[in-house]
Structure 1
Amino acid sequence: MLVLSRKKGQAIVLQDQIELTILEIEGDTIKLGISAPKDVQIVRKELLTSVKETNKEAAGMPEDISNLFADIKKMSPKL
Protein backbone atom coordinates (compact mmCIF):
# COMPACT_ATOMS: atom_id res chain seq x y z
CA MET A 1 0.00 0.00 0.00
CA LEU A 2 1.28 3.41 -0.93
CA VAL A 3 0.71 6.00 1.81
CA LEU A 4 0.77 9.70 0.88
CA SER A 5 0.17 12.86 2.89
CA ARG A 6 -2.03 15.46 1.21
CA LYS A 7 -3.40 18.83 2.28
CA LYS A 8 -6.73 20.44 1.43
CA GLY A 9 -6.87 21.21 -2.29
CA GLN A 10 -4.10 18.78 -3.21
CA ALA A 11 -4.74 15.83 -5.51
CA ILE A 12 -3.46 12.43 -6.57
CA VAL A 13 -3.74 11.15 -10.15
CA LEU A 14 -4.10 7.46 -11.03
CA GLN A 15 -3.26 6.23 -14.55
CA ASP A 16 -3.64 9.72 -16.03
CA GLN A 17 -7.43 9.44 -15.88
CA ILE A 18 -8.58 9.29 -12.24
CA GLU A 19 -8.03 12.26 -9.95
CA LEU A 20 -8.58 12.18 -6.18
CA THR A 21 -8.76 15.63 -4.58
CA ILE A 22 -8.89 16.47 -0.87
CA LEU A 23 -11.84 18.86 -0.64
CA GLU A 24 -12.20 19.32 3.10
CA ILE A 25 -10.63 18.12 6.34
CA GLU A 26 -12.64 18.24 9.55
CA GLY A 27 -11.32 16.33 12.57
CA ASP A 28 -10.73 12.73 11.54
CA THR A 29 -12.99 13.02 8.47
CA ILE A 30 -12.09 14.16 4.96
CA LYS A 31 -14.20 14.94 1.94
CA LEU A 32 -12.68 13.34 -1.12
CA GLY A 33 -13.56 14.38 -4.66
CA ILE A 34 -13.15 11.80 -7.41
CA SER A 35 -12.96 12.65 -11.10
CA ALA A 36 -12.98 9.60 -13.36
CA PRO A 37 -14.31 8.47 -16.74
CA LYS A 38 -17.95 7.39 -16.71
CA ASP A 39 -17.01 3.76 -17.36
CA VAL A 40 -15.02 3.58 -14.09
CA GLN A 41 -17.20 2.19 -11.30
CA ILE A 42 -16.73 3.92 -7.92
CA VAL A 43 -18.22 2.18 -4.87
CA ARG A 44 -17.67 2.68 -1.14
CA LYS A 45 -15.87 -0.37 0.24
CA GLU A 46 -18.35 -0.94 3.08
CA LEU A 47 -21.21 -1.03 0.57
CA LEU A 48 -19.37 -3.51 -1.66
CA THR A 49 -18.60 -5.72 1.34
CA SER A 50 -22.22 -5.60 2.47
CA VAL A 51 -23.52 -6.58 -0.98
CA LYS A 52 -21.05 -9.49 -1.19
CA GLU A 53 -22.14 -10.80 2.23
CA THR A 54 -25.82 -10.47 1.33
CA ASN A 55 -25.23 -12.39 -1.91
CA LYS A 56 -23.45 -15.18 -0.05
CA GLU A 57 -26.35 -15.48 2.41
CA ALA A 58 -28.91 -15.45 -0.41
CA ALA A 59 -27.06 -18.18 -2.29
CA GLY A 60 -27.21 -20.43 0.80
CA MET A 61 -24.98 -23.40 0.03
CA PRO A 62 -26.81 -26.67 0.76
CA GLU A 63 -25.50 -28.68 3.71
CA ASP A 64 -25.49 -31.95 1.77
CA ILE A 65 -24.58 -31.50 -1.88
CA SER A 66 -25.64 -35.04 -2.77
CA ASN A 67 -29.25 -34.17 -1.86
CA LEU A 68 -29.05 -31.26 -4.26
CA PHE A 69 -28.04 -33.55 -7.13
CA ALA A 70 -30.84 -35.99 -6.25
CA ASP A 71 -33.37 -33.15 -6.30
CA ILE A 72 -32.09 -31.96 -9.69
CA LYS A 73 -32.41 -35.46 -11.15
CA LYS A 74 -36.01 -35.72 -9.90
CA MET A 75 -36.84 -32.45 -11.67
CA SER A 76 -35.11 -33.47 -14.92
CA PRO A 77 -35.12 -37.25 -15.47
CA LYS A 78 -32.84 -36.92 -18.53
CA LEU A 79 -29.80 -36.19 -16.31
Structure 2
Amino acid sequence: MLVLTRHPGQYITIGDDIVIHISDVQGANVRMAIDAPRNVKIYRGEIYEAILEENKKSAAQTKNVDLTELMKDK
Protein backbone atom coordinates (compact mmCIF):
# COMPACT_ATOMS: atom_id res chain seq x y z
CA MET A 1 0.00 0.00 0.00
CA LEU A 2 1.25 3.45 -0.87
CA VAL A 3 0.43 6.24 1.60
CA LEU A 4 0.74 9.84 0.38
CA THR A 5 0.16 13.26 1.85
CA ARG A 6 -1.55 15.65 -0.55
CA HIS A 7 -3.06 19.09 -0.15
CA PRO A 8 -6.06 20.69 -1.87
CA GLY A 9 -5.19 21.51 -5.48
CA GLN A 10 -2.66 18.68 -5.74
CA TYR A 11 -3.26 15.41 -7.57
CA ILE A 12 -2.15 11.81 -7.96
CA THR A 13 -1.84 9.93 -11.25
CA ILE A 14 -2.43 6.21 -11.72
CA GLY A 15 -1.08 4.90 -14.98
CA ASP A 16 -1.42 7.16 -17.98
CA ASP A 17 -5.13 7.87 -17.83
CA ILE A 18 -6.37 8.13 -14.23
CA VAL A 19 -5.93 11.32 -12.20
CA ILE A 20 -7.19 11.84 -8.65
CA HIS A 21 -7.51 15.52 -7.71
CA ILE A 22 -7.66 16.55 -4.05
CA SER A 23 -10.30 19.25 -4.14
CA ASP A 24 -11.01 19.90 -0.45
CA VAL A 25 -10.11 18.79 3.07
CA GLN A 26 -12.42 19.53 5.99
CA GLY A 27 -11.36 17.88 9.23
CA ALA A 28 -11.28 14.12 8.65
CA ASN A 29 -13.07 14.39 5.29
CA VAL A 30 -11.26 14.56 1.98
CA ARG A 31 -13.09 15.48 -1.21
CA MET A 32 -11.58 13.95 -4.35
CA ALA A 33 -12.37 14.27 -8.03
CA ILE A 34 -11.41 11.35 -10.26
CA ASP A 35 -10.69 11.67 -13.98
CA ALA A 36 -10.74 8.25 -15.63
CA PRO A 37 -11.85 6.71 -18.92
CA ARG A 38 -15.54 5.78 -19.04
CA ASN A 39 -14.72 2.08 -19.21
CA VAL A 40 -13.01 2.21 -15.78
CA LYS A 41 -15.47 1.31 -13.03
CA ILE A 42 -15.09 3.38 -9.86
CA TYR A 43 -16.87 2.40 -6.65
CA ARG A 44 -16.74 3.54 -3.03
CA GLY A 45 -15.18 0.79 -0.91
CA GLU A 46 -18.37 -0.21 0.91
CA ILE A 47 -20.30 -0.42 -2.37
CA TYR A 48 -17.61 -2.58 -3.97
CA GLU A 49 -17.63 -4.94 -0.97
CA ALA A 50 -21.43 -5.24 -1.21
CA ILE A 51 -21.16 -6.10 -4.92
CA LEU A 52 -18.56 -8.80 -4.15
CA GLU A 53 -20.79 -10.27 -1.43
CA GLU A 54 -23.80 -10.38 -3.75
CA ASN A 55 -21.69 -12.06 -6.44
CA LYS A 56 -20.57 -14.72 -3.93
CA LYS A 57 -24.18 -15.38 -2.89
CA SER A 58 -25.28 -15.65 -6.50
CA ALA A 59 -22.45 -18.04 -7.35
CA ALA A 60 -23.29 -20.22 -4.33
CA GLN A 61 -26.93 -20.43 -5.42
CA THR A 62 -25.91 -21.34 -8.97
CA LYS A 63 -23.80 -24.25 -7.69
CA ASN A 64 -26.92 -25.81 -6.20
CA VAL A 65 -28.95 -25.70 -9.43
CA ASP A 66 -29.44 -29.04 -11.21
CA LEU A 67 -29.14 -28.12 -14.88
CA THR A 68 -30.51 -31.46 -16.04
CA GLU A 69 -33.81 -30.66 -14.31
CA LEU A 70 -33.93 -27.30 -16.02
CA MET A 71 -33.31 -28.85 -19.44
CA LYS A 72 -36.17 -31.41 -19.02
CA ASP A 73 -38.71 -28.60 -19.30
CA LYS A 74 -37.41 -27.55 -22.73
User: What is the TM-score normalised by the length of structure 2?
Assistant: 0.73
Where does the alignment leave 5 or more consecutive residues of structure 2 unmatched?
Answer: none
Aligned residues: 71
Counterpart residue number, 2:13: 13
* Structure 1 SS opposite 2:43: coil
Q: Which residue of 2 aligns with 1:49?
A: 49
Structure 1 unaligned regions, length at least 5: none
Q: Which amino acid aligns with 1:35?
A: D
Instruction: State the partner residue of 2:31.
Output: 31
Instruction: For residue 55 of structure 1, report the CA deviation from its aligned partner.
Output: 2.9
Which structure has the larger Rg over C-alpha atoms?
A: 1
RMSD between aligned alpha carbons? 2.4
Deviations 1:1-26 (A, max 9, x none): 11110001100111121100101101
Q: Distance in 2 between the 1:60 and 1:50 partners?
A: 15
Identity of aligned residues (%): 32
